[in-house]
Amino acid sequence: MNQACLSKKIYISGALTGIKESEKIKDFYESIGLLCDQLAFQTHIPHLYTDPLKNPEISPRQVFEMDKRQVNAADLVIAYLGCPSFGVGMELAYADTNNIPIILLYERERIISRFPRGIPSIVAEIQFTSYEDALEQLRNILINWI
């Protein structure tokens, strides 16, 4: 979209372990990344590098260090909260500690804990009815964020 976006880094956070329909959810994360790429942001989608099923040889410490480094280097974290995840919670805490803006996404009918929803660095909370709806709402927010 513009040169200023090329320097902005976005971290896509979402559950990877113990989730139902994991390929469908990973496709959603990748769709979020594609949207960000189309708007000329740099994105980091963790499962493309450290998927627990495709990359079992990567140690928990390596995953921790890589994800922590990527969150801390981000200008924005986009987090899907539709599946409970210790990792997502930790990524949100790191983002908040470093005053990194956060956008939350989850299905409208889901009941989400108030604790992550109360993080002060949240700039938007998207409740959606479909993945397409989520992406459209996210597009509008990102365009305004630019």
Q: What pLDDT sits at residue 18? A: 87
Residue 44's domain comprises: 3-145
Q: What is the pLDDT of residue 2?
A: 53
- The mean per-residue pLDDT over the stretch 39-58 comes to 92
Give dist(CA 30, CA 59) in Å, integer: 23
Q: Are 101 and 123 in contact (CB under 8 A)?
A: yes
Q: pLDDT exceeding 90 applies to what percent of the chain?
A: 85
Q: The pTM is what? A: 0.93
DSSP symbol at 78: E
Reported as a single tens digit per residue, the pLDDT across 67-126 is 999 999 999 999 999 999 999 999 999 999 999 999 999 999 999 999 999 999 999 999
pLDDT score recorded for residue 28: 97
Domain CATH number, residue 49: 3.40.50.450
DSSP 96: H
Tell whether the torsion through CA atoms of 42, 107, 124 and 104 is positive or negative.
negative
Q: Name the pLDDT band for 1 (thresholds 50, 70, 90).
A: very low
Q: Which amino acid is at 108?
A: R
Q: How many domains are there within the chain?
A: 1
Instruction: Give the mean model confidence (pLDDT) for residues 127-139.
Output: 98
